[in-house]
Amino acid sequence: MSAMAGAPLAELRTGHVPDDQLLVRARGVTKRFGGLVAVNSVDFDIPRGAIVSLIGPNGAGKTTFFNMITGYYVPTRGDISFDGHPIVSMKGEKARSKKPHEVTALGIGRTFQNIRLFSTMSALDNVLVGQHVHLRSHWWDAVLRTPLLLAEEERATERAHALLEFLGLGARAHTWARNLPYGDQRRLEIARALATSPKLLLLDEPTAGMNASETREMTDLIRRLRAELGLTVLLIEHDMRVVMGISDRVTVLDYGEVLAEGSPAEVRANPRVIEAYLGRGAAEEG
């Protein structure tokens, strides 16, 4: 899988990767909240098989951008396509967006900055909800407990256990999400996102609140997601060691605009980035 990552990433700037190697292609994406321009005309590419990071100071528009890719916010204007399917397209002067559950069905899974598990459901049920979009049984199958439902439930449960195992949560299947330790909750969120069968995984600050060794484990896990499951990953992260360590490319947002992009080394050396971002309060995190 990492071989796949190497070739198309030779050129690290948006617009330089051929379209057929792109998983996400965003052009001129703008989001206004009243008078505030949260994201201003951003172009952004995610090549297949890449680990791409989106960084920037608080309020730079990172999560807003995430929320537009997943269909939660409708952009003010712009185009976003995913794997050849339009997620956001312009219809006249207005942007049209697919609904979040439709985007999930296309293959985008995500985690949340503040953990948003289904807190009084078991870890297993959380993962099963993630599979919801790909299950076919209807309510009448449930009422009658038809063979379709029974077979599907059995397979889905098996897969949910396998996912929990992969994330190291095998022993926690029947524990309520809220009773899991913090690190396990973070990983359960990833398990739930994987259950949606994504091609692209969006991780919103996966190492927030973790100590050094937990952070290292999380970084290894993200690498494994690409190597073993062939996922493309988009990461929002404040921990610069994580960003610089695993990203193929990094895009810096500031005040809703792209300030810089390129390889981690290029971004780190960019004087504008140092001034706008690393030079301020956030630097101590890096």
Partner 1 sequence: MSSLITPVEHGRTGGLPAWLAHLASSAANWPTAYRARLQERPRRTVLLSALVVLVFAYPLLNRAVLQPFSRNVFPLPAPDDTTVVFMLIFATMAIGLNIVIGFAGLLDLGYVAFYALGAYSAAYLASPHWSGVSILLFSDLPAGFPGIHLPFFIIFWAAALVAALFGALLGAPTLRLRGDYLAIVTLGFGEIVPVFFKNLVNVHFSFGPIQLVNANLTGGPLGINPIDAPELFGIKFGVIHGFNAVYLALAVVAMSIVIARNLERSRMGRAWMAIREDETAAEMMGVNTVRTKLLAFGLGASFAGFAGAMQASYQGATTSDFFMFATSILVVIMIILGGIGNIWGVILGAITVQYVDKTLLGWVGNRLKDTGVAIGSPQLGEINPSQFSFLLLGLALVLMMRFRPEGLLPSRQRAAELHAAPPDQALGSAAVMEIEEEVIEEAEPEDVDATTDPPPEPGAASGPPDTPGRPGGVT
Label residue 19 exposed, middle or buried (CB < 10 Å: 0-12, 13-18, 19+).
Answer: exposed
Contacts (CB under 8 A) with partner 1, residues 79-118: 99-101, 104-105, 110, 112-118
Please state the closest distance from residue 280 (CB atom) to partner 1, in A.
8
Does 174 contact partner 1 by CB under 8 A? no
What stretch of H or E contains 25? strand 22-33
49: left (phi over 0), alpha (psi -120 to 50) or beta: left
Burial of 109 (0-12, 13-18, 19+ CB in 10 A): buried
Task: Count Cβ atoms below 10 Å from residue 3 Cβ, excluding itself.
Answer: 7
| 94-97 vs 85-91, strand pairing mode | antiparallel
Options 11-19, 82-90, 241-249, 278-286: segment touching partner 1 (CB under 8 A): 278-286
| b/e 87-100 (16+ beta carbons within 10 angstroms → b) | bbeeeeeebebbee
Q: Distance between CA 256 and CA 215 in Å, rounded?
A: 27
Q: Of all residues in the chain, what percent are helix, strand and coil, respectively (each to 5)? A: 45, 25, 30
63 phi and psi angles, rounded to 5 deg: -70, -35
| CB of 24 or CB of 236, closer to partner 1 | 236
Q: Residue 96 or residue 101: which is nearer to partner 1 going by CB?
A: 101
Contact window for partner 1 (CB under 8 A) among 18-26, 83-91, 155-163, 259-267: 155-163
- Quick one: which of 51, 60, 80, 188 contacts partner 1 (CB under 8 A)? 60
Q: Is 2 in the site for partner 1 (CB under 8 A)?
A: no
Q: Which residues ranging from 184 to 243 are in contact with partner 1 (CB under 8 A)?
A: 185, 192-194, 196-198, 204-205, 208-209, 211, 228-231, 236
Least separation in angstroms between residue 113's CB and partner 1 is 4
Q: Which is nearer to partner 1, 90 or 208 (CB)?
A: 208
Look-up: residue for tokens 């030779």? 10
Least separation in angstroms between CB 6 and partner 1: 20
- CB-wise, 6 or 209, nearer to partner 1? 209
Q: Which of 145, 170, 220, 279 binds partner 1 (CB under 8 A)?
A: 145
List binders of partner 1 among 253-272 (CB under 8 A): 255
- SS3 state at 208: coil
Listed ranges 14-22, 43-51, 161-169, 264-272: which one lies at the site for partner 1 (CB under 8 A): 161-169
In the complex, least distance from residue 243 CB atom to partner 1, rounded to whole angstroms = 15
The identity of residue 128, as a single letter, is L
| 136 makes contact with partner 1 (CB under 8 A) | yes
Give min distance, CB of 149 to partner 1, in A.
Answer: 7
Pick out residues in 14-43 that bind partner 1 (CB under 8 A): 33-36, 38
* Beta-sheet pairing, 232-236 with 200-204: parallel
As measured in angstroms, the least distance from the Cβ of 5 to partner 1 is: 16
Compute the least distance from the CB of residue 16 to partner 1, in Å.
27
With H, G, I as helix, E, B as strand and everything else as coil, classify residue 116.
Answer: coil
Token pair in block for residue 143 = 């009422």
DSSP β-bridge partners for residue 233: 51, 201
